[in-house]
Amino acid sequence: MEYDEPLFFRVLQYAAAADRDVVRLVSGNPDWEPPGALREGLREYADAPPEAFQYPPSDGLRELREEIAARRGVDVDRVVVTNGAGEANYLAMARAFEAADVGTRARTEPGSAGDGAATGDGPPTPTAPEVLLTDPVYPYYPGKTRLLGGEPRLVPVEHDGQPDVAAFREAAGPETVAIVVNTPNNPTGAVYEHERVAALAEVAAEHDALLVVDEVYDHFDYTGAFESALSLRAADERVVVTAGFSKSLAITGFRVGYAVFPPDLVDRARTRHMLVNVTGARPSQVAVLRALRETPPDYYESTRETLRERIDAFCDALAAAGADYTRPDGAFYVLARFDGFPGTLENVKRLVDEAGVAAMPGEAFGPSRDDWLRFALVSPRAEEAAERLADYFG
């Protein structure tokens, strides 16, 4: 497959080349301080003996895996530390394709010889395995699906951003190998109701598929309603949960994530991780371990409070501009729709040039929100950006 440069790179490059000041609300890079313990862990590591600078275990430092397992209430052998949550999602989706045994599973086009029917027209025509995704969707999920040889199938969410279980059930079929969801959600800000996630696990199980739940924004729940999919009864068999520390510890450049696999699926995921990466980086794992052990809950609550204030100010300004918008229950993204200004890349460039605000085009996230723009409120200038939008559209 040809390399497709991520759209947010193109938007950031366009904003950087602008001949005016631009407030960039494009990518989810946190602007707040990482925990002090993380910085201390790095400083101490710099003075470690040479043997500490060598390969760590391929599936992650044992102490870090134990810390994650204890926090998640799972056996340590189910945890694989990855190069960010992105690799965790890739491993989980790859494991779904492997578990489905796509080479021999009965997948036929309509009208072909399926279900043992003899038509005299030759063997069944195989169809590509499918991954069911929400619409709107985090763009890397469809890309990973295609990389693995599958086809993404988008299922529109409900108006409030919650997954439409009935629509997922209707979309699922013999070609379905996985359902992949993200909660708290990027880009809608929805925190999925636990009953709906449980129902999606049932849909996946009915088709011998995996449910992959990306929980990388689990520390950014403003409702108190978030509950991990690891509490599902199916989590021991057909649910993979992924997460990471890029957002919660404000360290997107450290690339430390993890996946929690069912016991029967972890070994091959661990092997794929080893063959692709050999291992992860020891310094970042050491620093994350230190941060997890020593960072108090106040750090996370302070970050959430900062984001609540930004969300309130940003949404107030959008209301003043007459926009439709989503007020996130989780994560830190706001979707907004302005009359007569659809969420195309062309309009994003106009917004940079004429209003001095950079956002992501809604069309990047799927057709159901292609009239919208997505704003990442990870800038101390988020309120200023909202005022610029109010002036521009008001």
pLDDT digits (tens, 9 = 90+) for 31-51: 999 999 999 999 999 999 999
CB atoms within 10 A of CB 142: 19
Burial group, residue 242, by CB count within 10 angstroms (0-12, 13-18, 19+): buried
- Identify which of 123, 114, 152 has the alpha carbon closest to the alpha carbon of residue 136: 152
Q: Which helix (H) or strand (E) holds 44?
A: helix 36-46
Phi, psi torsion values for 193, nearest 5 degrees? -65, 135
pLDDT confidence band for 125 (50 / 70 / 90): low
Q: Is the pLDDT of residue 233 over 90?
A: no
Q: Is the pLDDT of residue 345 over 80?
A: yes
Cα separation, 349 vs 55, in Å, equals 44
Q: Write down the residue that tokens 């763009």 correspond to.
A: 139
Helices (H) and strands (E) in the chain, counts: 12, 13
53-68 residues labelled b (16+ CB within 10 A) or e (exposed): eeebebbbbeebbebb
pLDDT attached to residue 120: 47
Convert the pLDDT of each residue in 259-301 to its tens digit. 999 999 999 999 999 999 999 999 999 999 999 999 999 999 9
pLDDT tens-digit profile of 361-386?
Answer: 999 999 999 999 999 999 999 999 99
DSSP 34: P
Residue 110 has pLDDT above 80, yes or no: no
Q: What are phi and psi of 64, to 5 degrees?
A: -70, -45
Percent of the residues in the chain that have a pLDDT greater than 90, as a whole number: 88
The CATH number assigned to the domain with range 7-34+297-393 reads 3.90.1150.10
Q: How many CB atoms lie within 10 A of CB 141?
A: 22
Q: What is the mean pLDDT of residues 105-121?
A: 43
Task: Give the fold, CATH level 3, of 39-294.
Answer: Aspartate Aminotransferase; domain 2 (3.40.640)
pLDDT at 354 over 80: yes
pLDDT tens digits for range 150-162: 999 999 999 999 9
Same fold: 7-34+297-393 with 39-294? no
With 70 as the cut, is the pLDDT of residue 115 above it? no
Amino acid letter, 223: T
Would you say how long the chain is, in residues? 394
* pLDDT for the residue numbered 106: 43
Q: Domain residues of the chain, as ranges?
A: 7-34+297-393, 39-294
- Three-state DSSP state, 155: strand
Out of 17-31, 90-104, 149-163, least confident range? 90-104
Cis peptide before 380 (omega within 30 of 0): no
Helix (H) or strand (E) holding 162: none
Over the stretch 202-213, which tens digit does the pLDDT of each residue have? 999 999 999 999
